[in-house]
Amino acid sequence: MLDESADSQAILELGRALQDTWNRGDAAGFASPFTDDASFIAWNGMHGYGRQAIEDAHIPLFSGPLAGSRMVLVDDDGPESLRFIRPDVAIMVTSGAVTLADQRATGPDHQSVQTLVLAKKGNRWQITAFQNTRQQVH
């Protein structure tokens, strides 16, 4: 049986954990909630498949241009949407942003919309697909 309240909370906690590992510059931690065969599409169209590829791609980012950056993925207002396709599959859409280490606030060129497809195995939710799209600056 689907317990949307508990499952919604677990998914939001997963989003916060993803955000926290980014903010620590922890590539392994950032990749850990993804499935072994997850697809990941970055804001610039770069993409990879699998947890290990996601970790490998973030190591040079966290030690290079994104070192010390801060990400907001799930804020106090929650995601834009979270819906359950089946009891073990959910889609979450969030508005997020990355603030670079030398910035006090996020510029409009770092605001994005993320779509996460999540799958539940046993009692654990994991990200099986992640799409990050840069918002248009008006």
Do the Cβ atoms of 8 and 79 come closer than 8 Å?
no
Arithmetic mean of pLDDT, 14-22: 95
Element housing 54 (H / E): helix 51-63
pTM reported for the whole predicted model? 0.90
- Residue 75 in this model has a pLDDT that exceeds 90: no
- Residue 1 in this model has a pLDDT that exceeds 50: no
Give the domain ranges of the chain.
4-134
pLDDT tens digit sequence for 40-52: 998 888 899 999 9
**Top-tier CATH class for 4-134:** alpha beta
pLDDT tens digit sequence for 84-129: 999 999 999 998 888 889 887 766 666 889 999 999 999 999 999 9
- Residue 14 in this model has a pLDDT that exceeds 80: yes
The pLDDT score that the predictor gives to residue 104 is 79
- Residue 7 in this model has a pLDDT that exceeds 90: yes
Q: Which residue carries 């409009």 as its tokens? A: 108
What is the Cα–Cα distance from 82 to 15, expressed in whole angstroms? 12
Element housing 70 (H / E): strand 70-72
What is the Cα–Cα distance from 84 to 41, expressed in whole angstroms? 22
Q: What angle do CA 70, 68, 106 make, to 5 degrees?
A: 40
